[in-house]
A and B are shown apart, each in its own frame.
Chain A
Amino acid sequence: MTTAVAATATAARKSPSPRGLIRTVLRVHRPALLMWCAYVLLMTGWMLWVHHVSGAQARAAQDICRANDGVCVDFDAFAFEEGMSMVGAFVAYTSYAVAAWAGASLTGRELESGTARLAWTQSVTPARWLTVKLAVPAVALTVGTTVLMLVYRWIWSANEGVRSDEWFYGDPFVNRGPAVVAYALCALAVGALAGLALKRALPALGTALAFIVCFHLYLDERSDTLWPAKTLTGTTASRLPMSADQLELGAVTGSGARINDLSCFDVDTDAGYARCMADNGFTDLYAEVHPQSHFWPLHLMTTGLVLAVTALLVLASFHLLRRRTGGTS
């Protein structure tokens, strides 16, 4: 009986409800939360405008163009494409702003001004403080970026005929799935770690921003290696659809060697193709490509990689905090 009471008491002592801490974090970062909501609303509105206004104009102009046998300069399509690429860029680069904020405001400023010490000497362990500090913005970021991702996906597929960017272009590739959410969470984690490690807002902002920019650009370059490419040969290789992401093109010589020679790629007829191959002494053509069906494998691999880095950053943050404060409980 007494042991049961004592056990309950210890359990209660060990885990005070995190609600107070959550409310405190929300109150301290209220301006950032309002900014984030405004940004999501603004971007959603902009994307809807791109679809409903410039998209509608572009679609109407395209219909007129088709009626004229396609002989026209479609200025409305330019306007639509510009809008589309602008919103795409804003959504894809959201993580940059998140990293800057997280480094500067979430942890960096707290350590610089000493308010972190204020929080850690209440009835809250530093580890719990960091957990809530990460969890609350993580929820807001996940919800917000998911909304942006879904709206972007919808306008992207609803304007299939008028847009000119392909699935493998950097921004649409990231924006059309969970990778954009993962990048935002990664930015949050790197910002939190930079703030904890550097203990000052401005250096943490710079470091976190530099990391996420480099990481994003690096993966943008290298994400096509995250899934094996498909090798096409013959006329299938030379007559690729626009939607294929071309990694490497070339011809195969009599000795079986691959050479970077594209002279037979622009021959339209089968007869012309055969003549060109014979003239050049090629036995075959080849193309290493990612067909459109590779979007999800590539995208999910990218997402997984970003999330793995995020997890490492979070672990490093907790490790650093524990080592510095010596807190175990």
Chain B
Amino acid sequence: MTDTAIEAAALGKRFGWRQKGWALRDCTLRLPVGRVCAVVGPNGAGKSTLLAHAAGLLAPTEGGISVLGTTPSAARERMAYVAQDKPLYPQLTVAETLRMGAELNPRRWDAAVAERIVEEGGLDFGSKIRSLSGGQRTRVALALALGKRPELLLLDEPMADLDPLARHQLMGTLLADSAEHGTTVVMSSHVVAELEGSCDHLFLLGGGRVRLAGPLDALIAAHTLVTGPTGDLAPHTVVESRTTGRQITALIRPEGRIAAGWQTAEPSLEELVLAHLRAPGAPALTLTDEGDADNSRGGNGGDDDGETNGTRTHGASV
């Protein structure tokens, strides 16, 4: 057994032959099993491309990706994938769609799980997929994915079509399932708020490259929001700074002690993500579970045999 759910090494994908057509470039990251990971980024950041590679739907242009310790196509049976537009056969009924799941996954199918998710949404098993609303379709797609009893669940913008109640409820189902079976969940979103509180790992992509990667609490701990009079923030790495009058507000990665006179605060997930999105030039940061920070993109991809406290000590003197 491996303890790595997804490991990408310099993964790159170019669509077409145009030099500018890179959807994903030089993407190196690692996700341990059992995590609930958010893949965040603006539209066109490469989130869907990364998930489609993990699902074995695309062949990389360069680099490679391994899933559950093997190639994506060899791990096909052990993972489930829900695409962004939740494709289902419109001419089938809900019951026929679930039967398809059973027939195409004969060794893994758990009918009870799938049926429960459909029933929780009050869906009629006899209704055709084409008569369902977008949110109901999402529910059927998730039922199909969870019914497969995957070890790795890849969800591309899973909650976009759902009303707040259904979103809350389905997220609860997902997290409970993940906790109960140790399922690794990877979900992409450009709505950061819907991920806060449910994820413990983060990949932030921008412009086809990895901007932030690592355990969520470690990433947050590696950053500090500082406010103070205009001044020099060296030697800290400044991700983004904004000046209002004589005040400067900045998100920094502290390198050593922060001088007195600065007000410090721990950034929220949203602040962390937005600051990086507003500052595309900020250096990338990849953290692993051992707590070693790596400012170059090549995150340490080795086995993390010493998973300790999940946080890091690097420069966190506040």
Q: Which residues of A contact B (CB under 8 A)?
A: 13, 16-17, 19-21, 23-24, 27-28, 30-31, 113-115, 117-125, 323-329
Q: Is the beta-carbon distance between A120 and B57 smaller than 8 angstroms?
A: yes
- On whether A122 and B104 interact (CB within 8 A), knowing A27-B92, A28-B91, the answer reads yes
Q: Is the beta-carbon distance between A28 and B76 smaller than 8 angstroms?
A: no
Q: List 8 A-B contacts (CB under 8 A).
A: A19-B103, A20-B106, A21-B104, A24-B100, A117-B81, A325-B59, A326-B56, A327-B56
Closest to A27 in B: B96
Q: Of the candidates A24, A113, A118, A121, which one forms a contact with B76 in the assembled complex, judged by CB atoms under 8 Å apart?
A: A121
Q: Is the beta-carbon distance between B80 and A121 smaller than 8 angstroms?
A: yes
Q: Is the beta-carbon distance between B85 and A325 smaller than 8 angstroms?
A: no
- On whether A324 and B87 interact (CB within 8 A), knowing A20-B106, A123-B104, the answer reads no
Q: Of the candidates A19, A118, A324, A327, which one forms a contact with B73 in the assembled complex, judged by CB atoms under 8 Å apart?
A: A327
Closest to B52 in A: A117
Starting from the known contacts A16-B106, A120-B57, 4 additional A-B residue pairs (CB-CB under 8 Å) come to A20-B102, A118-B88, A121-B56, A325-B58
Q: Which residues of A contact B106 (CB under 8 A)?
A: 16-17, 20, 123
CA distance A119 to B144 in the complex (A): 11
Q: Is the beta-carbon distance between A117 and B59 smaller than 8 angstroms?
A: no
In the assembled complex, the CB of A112 is this many whole angstroms from the nearest CB of chain B, namely: 10
Q: Which residues of A contact B102 (CB under 8 A)?
A: 20
Q: Is the beta-carbon distance between A328 and B73 smaller than 8 angstroms?
A: yes
Q: Is the beta-carbon distance between B83 and A117 smaller than 8 angstroms?
A: yes
CA distance A193 to B265 in the complex (A): 58
Q: Which residues of B contact A118 (CB under 8 A)?
A: 83, 87-89, 144
Q: Is the beta-carbon distance between A121 and B103 smaller than 8 angstroms?
A: no
Q: Is the beta-carbon distance between A28 and B89 smaller than 8 angstroms?
A: yes
B55-112, CB < 8 A from A = 55-60, 71-74, 76-77, 79-81, 83, 85, 87-89, 91-92, 96, 100-108
Q: Is the beta-carbon distance between A122 and B92 smaller than 8 angstroms?
A: no
In the assembled complex, the CB of B245 is this many whole angstroms from the nearest CB of chain A, namely: 51
Is there a chain A Cβ closer than 8 Å to B148's Cβ?
A: yes
Closest to B64 in A: A326
Q: Which residues of B contact A115 (CB under 8 A)?
A: 87-89
Give the 4 A-B residue pairs with the shortest CB-CB distance, closest first: A326-B59, A20-B103, A114-B87, A122-B104
